[in-house]
A and B are shown apart, each in its own frame.
Chain A
Amino acid sequence: MKLFRSLSIRKKLVAIQIMTACIVLVLAGVAFVVGDIADSEKEMLSQLSSSALIVGQNCVTSLMFMDEEAATQTLSSLNLQPHITQAAIYDEAGAVFAVYSRQGEADFIFPSPQPATQIFTRNHIELFEPIVHDTRHVGTIYLRADMTGLREKIKDYVLDALIVLAVGLTISLLLSFFFQKNVSNPILNLAAATRSVSETDDYSRRVQKESDDELGELCDGFNKMLEQIQHRDSELREARDTLERRVEERTREVEELSAQNLEQERALRREMEKELQTAHDMQMSLMPKKSPQVPGFDLAGRCNPASDVGGDYFQYFRQNGRLSVSLADVTGHAMEAAVPVMMFSGLLKSQMEIGGSLEEIFGRLNRSLHGTLDRRTFICFAMGELDIATRTLHLSNGGCPYPYYFQASTGEISELQLDAYPLAIRPDSEYRAQLIQLEQGDRIVLCSDGIIEAENKEAEIFGFERTAEEIQKGCIDGLSADALIERLMEKVNLFSIDVPQGDDMTCVVLNVSGD
Chain B
Amino acid sequence: MRVSKLLLILLLNPVILWAQIDANEEARLAKFKAVFIYNFVEFVKWPETKNAGSITIGVVSNSFLLPTLEAVARKRKASGEEIVIKKHVTVNDTLIAQSFPSYHILFVGPALTDELGMIAESLAGKHVLIIGDTDGFAKKGVAVNFILIDGKLKFEINTKALSRAGLEMHSQLLKLGILVE
Of residues 428 through 446 on chain A, the ones whose CB sits less than 8 Å from some CB of chain B are: none
Beta-carbon contact of A60 and B172 below 8 Å: yes
B171 nearest CB neighbor, chain A only: A61
B174 nearest CB neighbor, chain A only: A61
Beta-carbon contact of B153 and A61 below 8 Å: no
Binding-face segment, A64-72, A124-132, A212-220 = A64-72
Q: Name the A residues within 8 Å of B80 (CB-CB).
A: 134
A133 nearest CB neighbor, chain B only: B42
Q: Known contacts being A61-B170, A134-B42, A134-B79, is A70 close to B175, with CB within 8 Å?
A: yes
Residues of B in contact with A (beta carbons under 8 Å apart): 32, 35-36, 39, 42-43, 79-80, 152-155, 170, 172-173, 175-176
| Given A65-B39, A65-B176, 10 more pairs with CB closer than 8 A | A60-B172, A61-B172, A61-B176, A64-B42, A66-B152, A67-B154, A67-B176, A134-B42, A134-B79, A134-B80
Q: Name the B residues within 8 Å of A85 (CB-CB).
A: none
For B36, B42, B79, B173, the residue with the greatest tally of chain A CB atoms inside 10 Å of its CB is B42
Report if A307 contacts B (CB, 8 A). Answer: no
Contact of A61 among B32, B35, B79, B175 (CB under 8 A): B175
Beta-carbon contact of B42 and A65 below 8 Å: no
Q: Name the B residues within 8 Å of A62 (CB-CB).
A: 176
Beta-carbon contact of A65 and B36 below 8 Å: yes
B148 to chain A, nearest CB (A): 13
Report if A58 contacts B (CB, 8 A). Answer: yes
For B39, B79, B80, B152, the residue with the greatest tally of chain A CB atoms inside 10 Å of its CB is B39
Beta-carbon contact of A64 and B39 below 8 Å: yes
Q: How many residues of A contact B (CB 8 A)?
A: 11
Contact with B along A61-99 (1 / 0, CB 8 A): 110111100100000000000000000000000000000
Q: Known contacts being A65-B36, A66-B32, is A58 close to B172, with CB within 8 Å?
A: yes
Q: Name the A residues within 8 Å of B153 (CB-CB).
A: 66
Q: Name the B residues within 8 Å of A133 (CB-CB).
A: 42
Q: List 20 A-B contacts (CB under 8 A).
A: A58-B172, A60-B172, A61-B39, A61-B43, A61-B170, A61-B172, A61-B173, A61-B175, A64-B35, A64-B39, A65-B36, A65-B39, A65-B173, A66-B32, A66-B153, A67-B154, A67-B176, A70-B175, A70-B176, A134-B79
Q: Name the A residues within 8 Å of B152 (CB-CB).
A: 66
Closest 6 CB pairs of A and B: A61-B172, A64-B39, A67-B176, A65-B176, A61-B176, A70-B176
B76 to chain A, nearest CB (A): 9
Q: How far is the CA of A133 from the CA of B40 in the complex (A)?
A: 13
B36 nearest CB neighbor, chain A only: A65
Q: How far is the CA of A67 from the CA of B172 in the complex (A)?
A: 12
For A64, A65, A134, the residue with the greatest tally of chain B CB atoms inside 10 Å of its CB is A65
Contact with B along A400-436 (1 / 0, CB 8 A): 0000000000000000000000000000000000000
Q: Name the B residues within 8 Å of A61 (CB-CB).
A: 39, 43, 170, 172-173, 175-176
Q: How far is the CA of A191 from the CA of B154 in the complex (A)?
A: 99
Q: How far is the CA of A331 from the CA of B79 in the complex (A)?
A: 171
Q: Name the A residues within 8 Å of B35 (CB-CB).
A: 64
Q: Name the B residues within 8 Å of A60 (CB-CB).
A: 172
Q: Name the A residues within 8 Å of B173 (CB-CB).
A: 61, 65
Q: How far is the CA of A249 from the CA of B59 in the complex (A)?
A: 154
Q: How far is the CA of A58 from the CA of B43 in the complex (A)?
A: 13
Contact with B along A41-66 (1 / 0, CB 8 A): 00000000000000000101110111
For B36, B42, B170, B176, the residue with the greatest tally of chain A CB atoms inside 10 Å of its CB is B176
For A64, A67, A133, the residue with the greatest tally of chain B CB atoms inside 10 Å of its CB is A64
Q: How far is the CA of A60 from the CA of B43 in the complex (A)?
A: 11
B113 to chain A, nearest CB (A): 26
Q: How far is the CA of A63 from the CA of B150 in the complex (A)?
A: 18
Q: How far is the CA of A58 from the CA of B39 in the complex (A)?
A: 15
A503 to chain B, nearest CB (A): 166
Q: How far is the CA of A62 from the CA of B177 in the complex (A)?
A: 10
Q: How far is the CA of A389 from the CA of B176 in the complex (A)?
A: 207
Q: How far is the CA of A133 from the CA of B172 in the complex (A)?
A: 13
Q: How far is the CA of A60 from the CA of B152 in the complex (A)?
A: 18
Q: How far is the CA of A134 from the CA of B155 in the complex (A)?
A: 23
Q: How far is the CA of A397 from the CA of B83 in the complex (A)?
A: 193
A408 to chain B, nearest CB (A): 194
Of residues 185 through 227 on chain A, the ones whose CB sits less than 8 Å from some CB of chain B are: none
Of residues 131 through 170 on chain A, the ones whose CB sits less than 8 Å from some CB of chain B are: 133-134
B152 to chain A, nearest CB (A): 8
Q: Name the B residues within 8 Å of A58 (CB-CB).
A: 172
B178 to chain A, nearest CB (A): 11
B45 to chain A, nearest CB (A): 14
Q: Name the A residues within 8 Å of B170 (CB-CB).
A: 61
Q: Name the A residues within 8 Å of B42 (CB-CB).
A: 64, 133-134
Q: How far is the CA of A102 from the CA of B42 in the complex (A)?
A: 33
Q: How far is the CA of A259 from the CA of B79 in the complex (A)?
A: 148
Q: How far is the CA of A271 from the CA of B32 in the complex (A)?
A: 172
Q: How far is the CA of A65 from the CA of B172 in the complex (A)?
A: 11
B43 nearest CB neighbor, chain A only: A61
Of residues 238 through 296 on chain A, the ones whose CB sits less than 8 Å from some CB of chain B are: none
B79 nearest CB neighbor, chain A only: A134
B76 nearest CB neighbor, chain A only: A136
A61 nearest CB neighbor, chain B only: B172
Q: Name the A residues within 8 Å of B79 (CB-CB).
A: 134
Q: Name the A residues within 8 Å of B176 (CB-CB).
A: 61-62, 65, 67, 70
Q: How far is the CA of A62 from the CA of B36 in the complex (A)?
A: 11
Q: Name the A residues within 8 Å of B155 (CB-CB).
A: 65
B139 to chain A, nearest CB (A): 21
Q: How far is the CA of A280 from the CA of B113 in the complex (A)?
A: 200
A53 to chain B, nearest CB (A): 15
Q: How far is the CA of A64 from the CA of B153 in the complex (A)?
A: 12
Of residues 353 through 393 on chain A, the ones whose CB sits less than 8 Å from some CB of chain B are: none
Q: How far is the CA of A240 from the CA of B173 in the complex (A)?
A: 121
Q: How far is the CA of A62 from the CA of B154 in the complex (A)?
A: 11
A65 to chain B, nearest CB (A): 5
Q: How far is the CA of A283 from the CA of B99 in the complex (A)?
A: 200
B152 nearest CB neighbor, chain A only: A66
Q: Name the A residues within 8 Å of B32 (CB-CB).
A: 66
A65 nearest CB neighbor, chain B only: B176
